[in-house]
């Protein structure tokens, strides 16, 4: 029997240099895709996978994230008075229950591994999910739910992966696998941003993980790696000497919203996927081409 995954860590404390200056005053994960922030989709995905506690790792100037997930009686009363029940229900759905969300300051953006380590006291001694909130994943069955399903089969640690675009594997964390014919395979290694030509596969770590709490003791003393940052990939590689890791090639489409064009693509794709917006979105896009 595997222990259930009930908590998710959402690290949002990076500087977001690729989407500056916009990310200077608005945390990049609060930028909208169509009509709600990227983070709203990520929390929805987590809920669909059975997550009950959300641990945000935040930086300075990101208080708006807490406010977004809090109730706002003034707006809610105004919507009620105007009979705008649909949007009112949607807003209330975002809020969740008191005590369901924790916000932890990273204090300095020393890397993703360091950000995850900051969650250790809230996670305690149980398996947990990590979700990179830049990576918006559109999937019939939500990506994290696919990962939880895989975890229920294998136990241990799960890393969600997908094929990197041709010739770009050196930009990512890349996994090495035992040969298998399905989408879920035992991992034999991983490396952050391998030198071109040395990549062990074309599968990159795309932003959803299920990890065992022993990762925290490794991250505690971990040296800086690629880019001078404390890398989660290095911590996982060390944990792999003691525990099983499986890579799941998930079914869906990923949009990297930490990148200008990725955010644009997500907006276009999500607008086209909304029945009430699709026709108008298509006409607007056509008129620009």
Q: By CB under 6 A, name the binding residues for ligand UTP.
A: 11-18, 57, 106, 109-112, 114-115, 132-134, 258
3-state secondary structure the chain: CCCCCCEEEEECCCCCHHHCCHHHCCCHHHCEECCEEHHHHHHHHHHHCCCCEEEEEECCCCHHHHHHCCCCHHHHHHHHHCCCHHHHHHHHHHHCCCCCEEEEECCCCCCHHHHHHCCHHHHCCCCEEEECCCEEEECCCCHHHHHHHHHHHHCCEEEEEEECCCCCHHHCEEEEECCCCCCEEEEEEEEECCCCCCCCCCEEEEEEEEECCCHHHHHHCCCCCHHHCCCHHHHHHHHCCCCCEEEEECCCEEEECCCHHHHHHHHHHHHHCCCCCHHHHHHHHHHHC
Spatial separation of the C-alpha atoms in residues 219 and 205, rounded to whole Å: 18
Question: Least Å distance between CB 18 and ligand UTP?
Answer: 3
Spatial separation of the C-alpha atoms in residues 1 and 150, rounded to whole Å: 13
Report the residue number, 65 or 281, with the smaller CB distance to ligand UTP. 65
Report the residue number, 16 or 225, with the smaller CB distance to ligand UTP. 16
Which residue number has the CB closest to ligand UTP? 14
Question: Least Å distance between CB 74 and ligand UTP?
Answer: 30
Question: Least Å distance between CB 97 and ligand UTP?
Answer: 24
Report the residue number, 88 or 103, with the smaller CB distance to ligand UTP. 103
Report the residue number, 78 or 107, with the smaller CB distance to ligand UTP. 107
Report the residue number, 29 or 157, with the smaller CB distance to ligand UTP. 29
Spatial separation of the C-alpha atoms in residues 179 and 205, rounded to whole Å: 17
Report the residue number, 184 or 219, with the smaller CB distance to ligand UTP. 219
Q: What would you measure as the largest C-alpha separation in the chain, in angstroms?
A: 62
Report the residue number, 185 or 258, with the smaller CB distance to ligand UTP. 258
Question: Least Å distance between CB 229 and ligand UTP?
Answer: 7
Spatial separation of the C-alpha atoms in residues 211 and 126, rounded to whole Å: 9
Question: Least Å distance between CB 57 and ligand UTP?
Answer: 5
Say if residues 228 and 112 touch (Cβ distance below 8 Å).
Answer: no
Question: Least Å distance between CB 167 and ligand UTP?
Answer: 20
Question: Least Å distance between CB 79 and ligand UTP?
Answer: 31
Report the residue number, 28 or 246, with the smaller CB distance to ligand UTP. 28
């Amino acid at each position: 029997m595997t222990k259930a995954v009930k908590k998710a860590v959402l690290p949002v404390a990076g500087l977001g240099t690729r989407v500056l200056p916009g990310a200077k005053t608005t945390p990049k994960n609060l930028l909208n895709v169509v009509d709600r922030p990227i983070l709203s989709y990520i929390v929805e995905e987590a809920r669909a996978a059975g997550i009950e506690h959300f641990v945000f790792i935040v930086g300075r100037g990101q208080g708006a994230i807490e406010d977004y997930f809090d109730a706002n009686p003034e707006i809610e009363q105004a919507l009620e008075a105007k009979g705008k029940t649909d949007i009112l229900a949607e807003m209330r759905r975002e809020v969740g229950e008191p005590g369901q969300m924790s916000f932890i300051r990273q204090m300095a953006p020393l890397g993703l591994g360091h950000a995850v380590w900051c969650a250790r006291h809230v996670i305690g001694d149980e398996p947990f999910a990590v979700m990179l909130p830049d990576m918006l994943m559109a999937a019939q069955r939500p990506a994290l739910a696919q990962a939880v399903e895989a975890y229920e089969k294998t136990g241990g640690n799960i890393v969600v992966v997908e094929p990197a675009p041709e010739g770009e594997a050196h930009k990512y964390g890349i996994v090495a696998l035992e040969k298998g014919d399905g989408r879920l395979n035992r991992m034999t290694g991983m490396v952050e941003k391998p030198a071109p030509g040395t990549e062990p596969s074309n599968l990159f770590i795309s932003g959803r993980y299920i990890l065992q709490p022993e990762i925290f003791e490794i991250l505690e003393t971990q040296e800086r790696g690629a880019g001078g940052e404390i890398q989660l990939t290095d911590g996982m590689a060390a944990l792999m000497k003691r525990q099983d890791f499986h890579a799941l090639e998930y079914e869906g489409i990923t949009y990297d919203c930490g990148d200008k064009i990725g955010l644009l693509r997500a907006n276009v794709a999500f607008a086209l996927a909304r029945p009430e917006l699709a026709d108008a979105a298509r006409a607007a896009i056509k008129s620009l081409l």
